[in-house]
Amino acid sequence: MKQKFSFEPRWFAVVIFFIAGLFMGAFVLFIWIFNGGRFYGIQKIHPATGSYKFINPLIAVEREQITDFFANESLQTKLASIIDKHKKNQDIQEGAVYFRDLDPGRWVGINEDLKFSPGKLLKMPIMIAYFKEAETTPAILQKKLVYHTNPKSTAVDTQANLEDGQSYTVEEFINDMITNDTGNAPNILYDNIDKEALNEIFSDLGINFIEDKQTDDYITVKQYSLFFRVLYNATYLNREFSEKALDILSQTSNIKGIAEGLPNDLTISHKYRTRNFTQNGSQLQESHDCGIVYYPQHPYLLCTMGIGKTSGAISNTFKDLSQAVYEDMSKSYKN
């Protein structure tokens, strides 16, 4: 005789909970991945009220919903077409751009891993190294150094603030180094800095080279952007010196490149640099312009690098890239 199967209440409860678990799991996964076409990411926690103008100190991170990864496809296409257009017009031979919306973290890069050589010394890490030392030894910024011109340079510094043979504080040297593109301030500051402390900055940021003042540095736009990101978030220097560094960078007199593609009343903390070099018998110029654009309530980072026959043509390329990014930001935050 067949034994009649009895479905006990406890098994019924197990089945119900199992089905409910599957449903809830699928629902949470759906929300997590496809909620409004958005992905989850990292929320950066900043002070509720800030008294700083140039920095936005980072306190902690949390998971949050961020802009859809595919939201920047149109901007990426536009930036790529601008670089292609200027290459076809022979304004540039090579070009790269890296954009990052600093708060949500969305970014776009064109040739962002292509290496360029801004010169023999990177001014940003020199400034950061001195300010890092000043956190524990403030007197370093008041140390007096004698300024002397660079005998190997043929450039005429029309914006020179420092006179040959005169003594100035390290802080005055730093201001001159950042606000002017020529002059011998970077070399003098380099000669008086702890080289181990300077190169530790590159190591900390994962940039694989050692500053020696003898050979050209090679760096990508994405790597170079790290100097500005750590200043903005005040994660490498303390808040006081992060603010000071970006304040100095906002006082650069250069209005070419990125600045040309922006409204005149928009604050930008950036560094523009051009160098001349010879390649295969041809005289070429290499420029880079990188900085933080303080778009109202939504600051963003933009770094550009290019090689061409004239700095003016390269600067026009940067201008078009900057204008395209600004227009994209205006559409994204028009409300």
Residue 281 structure tokens: 């018998």
pLDDT for residue 245? 98
Other C-beta atoms lying within 10 Å of the C-beta of residue 43? 16
Q: What is the CATH number of domain 122-215?
A: 3.40.710.10
Q: Is residue 61 exposed (0-12), middle (13-18) or buried (19+ Cβ within 10 Å)? A: exposed
pLDDT for residue 66? 45
C-beta separation of 247 from 228 below 8 A: no
pLDDT for residue 150? 72
Q: Taking Cα atoms as reference points, which of 181, 174, 301 lies closest to residue 245?
A: 174
pLDDT for residue 26? 61
pLDDT for residue 61? 53
Whole-number Cα distances in Å, 285 to 19, 37, 100, 118, 212: 67, 43, 26, 10, 22
pLDDT for residue 54? 86
Region for 213 from its dihedrals, namely left if φ exceeds 0, alpha if ψ lies in -120 to 50, beta otherwise? left
What residues does each domain of the chain span?
A: 69-120+216-335, 122-215
Reading the chain (335 residues) residue by residue, the pLDDT tens digits are: 555 555 555 566 666 666 777 766 665 555 444 444 344 455 565 665 566 788 887 755 554 444 444 446 789 999 999 999 999 999 999 999 999 999 887 899 999 999 998 777 789 999 999 999 999 999 999 999 999 987 665 444 445 578 999 999 999 999 999 998 778 999 999 999 999 999 999 988 888 888 887 777 789 999 999 999 999 999 999 999 999 999 999 998 777 899 999 999 999 999 998 888 888 888 899 999 999 999 999 999 999 999 998 989 999 999 999 999 999 999 999 85
Torsion sign, CA atoms 109, 326, 58, 131: positive
End-to-end CA distance of the chain: 76
What CATH architecture applies to the domain 69-120+216-335? 3-Layer(aba) Sandwich (3.40)
Same topology for domains 69-120+216-335 and 122-215, yes or no?
yes
